[in-house]
């Protein structure tokens, strides 16, 4: 088939898909989670707060609800909860990024934002093959207002990365520390071991490789979307690791995103702790963090993973797919790294119900429920007659009652994690998203779901239960 007839076939398929939409593009659209107006969204990119305004960019395929050529979509917000779509920001329009403006970050300083991203280029040969088939370029674009973008500057190509890494090098994240700029990128070595490359620069344009960071034992074959930040004296290296298999990862989120604690300096000698998952549910990948102007570390992940062959998201029928998680504050308490929805959500809460031990509420699609002072480790909740949250035998489960690709589960079954003692649970539901924060967010479970009705039923002997609706 020649290129033109391939394109035509694709176009016809797209038109068929658009025509087959249910005509209700907003029936599953969350109110407080960033979602694309049309088409496909994946990773959060270029997250920042600049001159008061929050900017979120995202991997975006507006022309194809099932993904395709990636550009950067752009939305802004005053509170990280209500997002306004600003249009497509960065297009794949240069020889060094023509097959995808891939993931990257924002660095804000001195009246400008510097965006760094990976320019993806497909070459002859197998695109997924490790030593050919693609280029991964590191690109810088600057903006003075966050809306208009300067010239794209090609900073590094595959020639600038170590010889023993494959063509899989991507997703730069940049920060500044003691007057020096640092950049971390994810890489796949030729011997199929994942690692992070650490570059340094004095002018944010010319970069030198300073360190290669990996675990003692090989850990996955590729570390996508690495991130690095310090919080309360802890140094956190986050990565979305591809290729983790075996019993330990069974029935966990199969798109693993987690973090290592770093001992030493990332640009010099350093060692990594055990890997801890950010999220134990079905939908959480490629998180990126940024610092707000009031000094909070906020992280957002991509919610919507193609994690089992029969899995579908029902919004495909409506012409859009996937969304971001609720922005989460990362904080440290008693030495534990915890997550909670950004505090802006507190202002949206209106009390709906209060109870001890048990609660049943009908038809509420957007709410937060908090179950505190849990006694005897007893907890059971049913959401939308489809999703069960349960704690028993020292394990917390998120599972669907009636797994089928055509209902709320979209073909999913179960995720769980061993947790010794259960103290409290916060459930955040926003139409088609559910995020569950266990023990003050030490463990988080996230999933998309598509309930037919929104009943919430909770049983937890003697526990204090509160439920709020969330109003825009």
Shortest distance (Å) from residue 104 CB to ligand FRU: 8
Give the one residue of 70, 74, 204, 348 binding ligand FRU; rule: CB under 6 A. 70
- Considering only residues 284 to 343 of the shown chain, the ones binding ligand FRU according to CB under 6 A are 285-286
Give the one residue of 121, 225, 389, 465 binding ligand FRU; rule: CB under 6 A. 225
The answer to the question of residue 412 lying near ligand FRU (CB under 6 A) is: no
Write down the residue that tokens 């809306």 correspond to: 147
Shortest distance (Å) from residue 467 CB to ligand FRU: 34
Cα–Cα distance measured from residue 367 to residue 387, given in angstroms and rounded to the nearest whole number:
15
Shortest distance (Å) from residue 75 CB to ligand FRU: 17
Give the one residue of 33, 35, 39, 43 binding ligand FRU; rule: CB under 6 A. 43
Cα–Cα distance measured from residue 458 to residue 327, given in angstroms and rounded to the nearest whole number:
25
Shortest distance (Å) from residue 303 CB to ligand FRU: 12
- Considering only residues 161 to 180 of the shown chain, the ones binding ligand FRU according to CB under 6 A are 170-171
The answer to the question of residue 90 lying near ligand FRU (CB under 6 A) is: no
Token couple for 398: 């998120």
DSSP state of 395: E
Q: SS3 of 390, please?
A: strand
DSSP strands (E only) in 219-319 = 222-231, 234-242, 257-264, 270-272, 276-277, 285-291, 297-303
Shortest distance (Å) from residue 57 CB to ligand FRU: 12
The answer to the question of residue 74 lying near ligand FRU (CB under 6 A) is: no
The answer to the question of residue 188 lying near ligand FRU (CB under 6 A) is: no
Q: Considering only CA atoms, which of 369, 367, 379 is closest in space to residue 460?
A: 379
Our CB check for ligand FRU shows the closer of 213 and 387 to be: 213
The answer to the question of residue 227 lying near ligand FRU (CB under 6 A) is: no
The answer to the question of residue 97 lying near ligand FRU (CB under 6 A) is: no
Are residues 325 and 300 in contact, defined by beta-carbon separation less than 8 angstroms?
Answer: yes
- Considering only residues 249 to 278 of the shown chain, the ones binding ligand FRU according to CB under 6 A are none
Kindly determine how many residues on this chain lie close enough to bind ligand FRU according to the rule CB under 6 A. Answer: 13
CA-angle at 363, arms to 390 and 80, nearest 5°? 80
Cα–Cα distance measured from residue 412 to residue 428, given in angstroms and rounded to the nearest whole number:
19
Cα–Cα distance measured from residue 410 to residue 450, given in angstroms and rounded to the nearest whole number:
8
Query: Residues 6 or more apart from 137 whose CB is under 8 A from it?
Result: 96, 97, 118, 119, 121, 154, 155, 156, 157, 158
One of 43, 171, 227, 279 is an active-site residue; which one?
43
Q: Is 43 a catalytic residue?
A: yes
Are residues 445 and 415 in contact, defined by beta-carbon separation less than 8 angstroms?
Answer: yes
Our CB check for ligand FRU shows the closer of 103 and 315 to be: 103
Our CB check for ligand FRU shows the closer of 28 and 302 to be: 302
Catalytic residues: 43
Could you list the residues that contact ligand FRU (CB under 6 A)? 42-43, 59, 70, 102-103, 118, 170-171, 224-225, 285-286
């Amino acid at each position: 088939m020649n290129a033109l007839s391939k394109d035509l076939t694709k176009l016809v398929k797209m038109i068929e898909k658009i025509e087959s939409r249910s005509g209700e593009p907003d029936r599953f659209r969350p109110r407080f989670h960033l979602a694309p107006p049309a088409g496909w969204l994946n990773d959060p990119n270029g997250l920042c707060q600049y001159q008061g305004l929050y900017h979120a960019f995202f991997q975006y395929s507006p022309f194809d609800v099932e993904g395709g050529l990636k550009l950067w979509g752009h939305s802004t917000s005053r509170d990280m909860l209500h997002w306004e779509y600003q249009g497509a920001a960065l297009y794949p329009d240069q020889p060094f990024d023509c097959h995808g403006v891939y993931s990257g970050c924002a660095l804000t300083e001195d009246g400008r934002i510097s965006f760094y991203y990976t320019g993806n280029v497909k070459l002859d040969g197998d695109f997924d093959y490790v030593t050919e088939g693609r280029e991964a370029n590191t690109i810088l674009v600057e903006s003075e207002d966050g809306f208009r973008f300067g010239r794209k500057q090609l900073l590094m190509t595959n020639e600038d990365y170590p010889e023993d890494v494959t063509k899989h090098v991507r997703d730069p994240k940049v920060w500044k520390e003691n007057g020096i700029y640092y950049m971390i990128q994810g890489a796949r070595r030729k011997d199929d071991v994942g690692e992070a490359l650490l570059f340094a620069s004095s002018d944010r344009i010319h970069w030198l490789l300073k360190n290669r960071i990996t675990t003692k034992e090989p850990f996955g074959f590729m570390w996508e979307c690495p991130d690095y930040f310090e919080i309360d004296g802890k140094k956190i290296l986050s990565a979305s690791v591809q290729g983790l298999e075996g019993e330990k990862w069974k029935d966990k989120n199969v798109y693993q995103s987690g973090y290592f604690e770093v001992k030493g300096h990332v640009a010099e000698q350093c060692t990594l702790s055990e890997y801890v998952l950010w999220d134990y549910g079905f939908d959480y990948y490629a998180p990126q963090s940024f610092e707000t102007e009031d000094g909070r570390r906020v992280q957002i992940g991509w919610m919507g993973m193609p994690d089992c062959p029969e899995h579908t998201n029902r919004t495909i029928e409506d012409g859009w797919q996937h969304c971001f998680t609720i922005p989460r504050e990362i904080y440290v308490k008693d030495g534990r790294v915890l997550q909670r929805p950004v505090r802006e959500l507190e202002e949206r809460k209106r009390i709906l119900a209060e109870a001890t031990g048990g609660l049943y509420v009908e038809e509420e699609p957007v709410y937060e429920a908090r179950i505190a002072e849990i006694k005897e480790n007893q907890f059971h909740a049913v959401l939308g007659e489809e999703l069960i949250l349960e704690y028993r035998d020292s394990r917390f489960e998120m599972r669907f009652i009636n797994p089928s690709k055509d209902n709320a589960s979209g073909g999913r079954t179960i995720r769980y994690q061993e947790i010794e003692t259960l103290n409290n649970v916060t459930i955040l539901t926003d139409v088609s998203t559910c995020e569950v924060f266990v023990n003050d967010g030490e463990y988080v479970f996230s999933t998309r779901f598509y309930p037919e009705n929104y009943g919430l039923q909770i049983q937890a002997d003697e526990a204090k239960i509160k439920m709020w609706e969330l109003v825009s």
